[in-house]
Amino acid sequence: MERLRLVFSGSGGQGVITAAIILAEAAVLHEDLIATQAQAYGPEARGGATRSDIIISDSPIRYPKVTQPNVLVCLTQESYNKFNPIIRPGGILLTDTRFVKMHAKVDARQIQLPMYRTVMDEIGKPIVFNICMLGAVIGLTDVISPDAVMKALTARIPKGFIDLNKQALELGLAMGEAARP
Amino acid sequence: MNDNIKFVQGNEACVEAALYAGLEFYAGYPITPSTEIAEHMAVRLPKLGRRFIQMEDEISSICAIVGASLTGHKAMTATSGPGFSLMQEGLGYAIMAEIPCVIVNVMRGGPSTGLPTSPSQSDVYQARWGVHGDHAIIALTASNHQDVFEMTVHAFNMAETYRTPVILLLDEVIGHMRERLEIPGPEAIPVVDRLRTSVRAGIDYHPYLPREDGRLPMSDFGSEHRYNVTGLAHDMWGFPSSNPGVVHGLLRHLTDKIKNNVGNITRHKEYYLEDARTVLISYGSSARSALHVVEHQRARGERLGLLELQSLWPFPYGLVEEKCAYARNIIVVEMNMGQITRAVKRAVKDPERVVLANRIDGVFITPTDIKNILRLIQGKGV
């Protein structure tokens, strides 16, 4: 596979860091790939524009941070304003329709999906918004299998919440696949 | 799925390794970016029937582990720069009283409270000379989680072998980043256990009388033998002495036991050094950026190599001299103002060939930062 560099950004509490950990962990534990996950700490991690970097590859990863992501996800206007210039030319810039108004023209495929609205309409619980986003990223990129993500999720979350997460992942997957060129 | 394969932070890799090495007692005071070590210890140790104590500060933390170790239990603490400063007194005591223990410093920007959440490698000299008085020290480091595991076990082994505190210098990037860790099977990495005296109860035991091989067998304090332990210069019974011959012998012993064993203590890795014209020397997280540059430039046909140091003190002067013998340029990559660069300059024949590629602004050094220095010394400009 080609090396995929992703940045998930949003505000503290939206679960972007959790989503990043689940994606990278699934790649390592269930797809036998190499992955790293790093994140911004400190004041940035509490409110404001929080960010997590993920690299997934089949060859060793030395420098573990992402300077130019192939996939950039922004779940708030602030994170979009801050990070949209770093997208790798030809990459995917994914935002949520409810939270982000795109204004800049970047050399990337800009994809807006109603992830938050769909989660609220279909499930009614905002806590799985991040997993819906993760589903959309996988639907768009095929980076790892949804099965691997479900295995990582099952190991991490209480039993009662598994169906909820599965549903959110599938909603995201469907939206992501539909948005593929 | 193999349960021994984990996706964890470097701090957690350090915890798993300490348990593998036989850690029985952890005392500490949480501080970013080392906090996850205390967090995971607090979960893991009680389940294994071992002890975790959160102390009131770093001074008491190091005193607690020194005491625990003296009673026969492998002990460690973890901190970052500000806490490491507070630990210097207890560290010096452990050096003088020859009490094995492991101190992890997950480095952040300094001085003082500095940059709590940013990476740095600026405590390298503090690890060497933070303690007053002539002494030797062992300081180790690592650039990825598998190596964090190995070097943590090595730290415990060196502490027991030489009856000395060992410092493990990690940094914010390694501590917080997550990547794969495979826990080695039992006995895959040898573990050095406490060397206890064979002297029976009721018979005179000399706590500071070396065996022929230089090692000093210990007796669990409070158990079979009564003996004295002090930070004062002392004789073979552990009683204070200002006899010049005794003092001279003690100080020589404290430094020689480490300096004379540089070969056994030193750990390093090398990449593409065979025909390298330009040798990069680095350690910890900086070595990842350095290796990225080496692999990248190699793919373009440039003869670059990397010497990654995994033990910083005692400094492996001989190794560095040998590996740099045929290099036209030597670039030391580190996140400080040149602490290891200074040692490298002392090690090589032509110090003017040594250049520093660094960052001191709390930003993890990037491959581009290093490539810019490389271009400058190649006369290409940035």
Q: Please report how many Cα atoms fall inside a 13 Å half-sphere around the Cα of residue B145, on the Cβ side.
A: 28
pLDDT at A124: 96
Nearest by Cα to B357 from B294, B268, B271, B270: B294
Q: Which residues constitute the domain of residue A89?
A: 4-113+141-162
As a whole number of angstroms, the distance between CA B78 and CA B194 comes to 21
Structural domains in chain A (count): 1
- What is residue B381's three-state secondary structure? coil
As a whole number of angstroms, the distance between CA B210 and CA B217 comes to 8
As a whole number of angstroms, the distance between CA B90 and CA B94 comes to 6
Q: Which of B178, B291, B366 is facing A36, going by the closest CB pair?
A: B178
- What is residue A136's three-state secondary structure? helix
B1 with A30: Cβ contact below 8 A: yes
- Name every chain B residue with its beta carbon within 8 A of the beta carbon of A41: 32-33, 117, 172, 176
As a whole number of angstroms, the distance between CA B269 and CA B140 comes to 13
Q: B268-377 — its CATH code? A: 3.40.50.920
- Averaged over B352-380, what is the pLDDT? 96
* Residue A53, pLDDT above cutoff 70: yes
- Averaged over A129-141, what is the pLDDT? 98
Q: Give the residue with greater pLDDT, B210 vs A175.
A: A175
Assign domain B1-265 to its CATH architecture.
3-Layer(aba) Sandwich (3.40)
B173 with A38: Cβ contact below 8 A: yes
Q: Read off the pLDDT band of B1 (50, 70, 90).
A: low
B151 and B20 Cβ atoms separated by less than 8 Å: no
DSSP codes, B79-108: E-HHHHHHTHHHHHHHHHHT--EEEEEEEE
Q: Which two tokens stand for residue B92?
A: 């010096």
Phi-psi region of B77 (alpha: psi -120 to 50; beta: other; left: phi over 0): beta
Q: Read off the pLDDT band of A72 (50, 70, 90).
A: very high
* Residue A44, pLDDT above cutoff 60: no
DSSP letter at B218 equals: B
B142 and B151 Cβ atoms separated by less than 8 Å: yes
Strands B115-119 and B101-109, bridge-based pairing: antiparallel
As a whole number of angstroms, the distance between CA A7 and CA A71 comes to 6
* Residue A45, pLDDT above cutoff 80: no
As a whole number of angstroms, the distance between CA B80 and CA B105 comes to 5
pLDDT at B60: 98
Residue of chain A minimizing CA distance to B145 = A36
Q: Give the residue with greater pLDDT, B278 vs A181.
A: B278
- What is residue A69's three-state secondary structure? coil
* Residue A46, pLDDT above cutoff 70: no
CA distances, B325 to each of B43, B307, B348, B353 (Å): 49, 13, 7, 11
Domains B1-265 and B268-377 alike in fold: yes
pTM of the predicted model over 0.90? yes
SS3 for B248-280 is HHHHHHHHHHHHCCHHHHCCEEEECCCCCCEEE
Whichever domain contains A38, its CATH number is 3.40.920.10
* Residue B348, pLDDT above cutoff 90: yes
B234 and B228 Cβ atoms separated by less than 8 Å: yes
- Run of H or E residues at B356: strand B354-358
- Averaged over A146-154, what is the pLDDT? 97
pLDDT at B146: 98
* Residue A48, pLDDT above cutoff 80: no
Of the residues B178, B183, B335, the best mutation for testing chain A's interface (the one with the most A CB atoms within 10 Å of its CB) is B178
- Name every chain A residue with its beta carbon within 8 A of the beta carbon of B116: 42
The 8 Å CB, 24+ separation contacts for B292-301 are: B292/A62, B292/A63, B292/B367, B293/B367, B293/B370, B293/B371, B293/B374, B295/A62, B295/B271, B296/B367, B297/B371, B297/B374, B298/B272
Average pLDDT of the residues of chain A: 94
A37 with B178: Cβ contact below 8 A: yes
Percent of chain A with pLDDT over 70: 96
A63 with B295: Cβ contact below 8 A: no
Residue B128 in contact with partner chain A when CB distance is under 8 A? no
User: Please, is A90 exposed, middle or buried when counting C-beta atoms within 10 Å of its C-beta (0-12, 13-18, 19+)?
Assistant: exposed
- Averaged over B10-35, what is the pLDDT? 98
Average pLDDT of the residues of chain B: 97
- For residue B291, the distance in angstroms to the closest alpha carbon of chain A comes to 7
For chain B, domain boundaries: 1-265, 268-377
Residue B182 in contact with partner chain A when CB distance is under 8 A? no
* pLDDT (tens digit per residue) in B79-132: 999 999 999 999 999 999 999 999 999 999 999 999 999 999 999 999 999 999
- Name every chain B residue with its beta carbon within 8 A of the beta carbon of A39: 176
Q: Read off the pLDDT band of B321 (50, 70, 90).
A: very high
Q: Please report how many Cα atoms fall inside a 13 Å half-sphere around the Cα of residue A106, on the Cβ side.
A: 26
B281 and A57 Cβ atoms separated by less than 8 Å: no
Q: Which two tokens stand for residue A98?
A: 């409810």
Residue A176 in domain: no
ipTM comes to 0.95
B32 with A67: Cβ contact below 8 A: no
Residue A68 in contact with partner chain B when CB distance is under 8 A? no
Residue A118 in domain: no
- Name every chain A residue with its beta carbon within 8 A of the beta carbon of B113: none
B155 and B168 Cβ atoms separated by less than 8 Å: yes
* pLDDT (tens digit per residue) in A75-133: 999 999 999 999 999 999 999 999 999 988 889 999 999 999 999 999 999 999 999 99
Nearest by Cα to B304 from B315, B296, B312, B316: B296
State how far Cα B72 lies from the chain centre. 22
* pLDDT (tens digit per residue) in A60-71: 999 999 999 999
A144 and A25 Cβ atoms separated by less than 8 Å: no
Q: Which of A25, A41, A61 is facing B176, going by the closest CB pair?
A: A41
* Residue B4, pLDDT above cutoff 70: yes
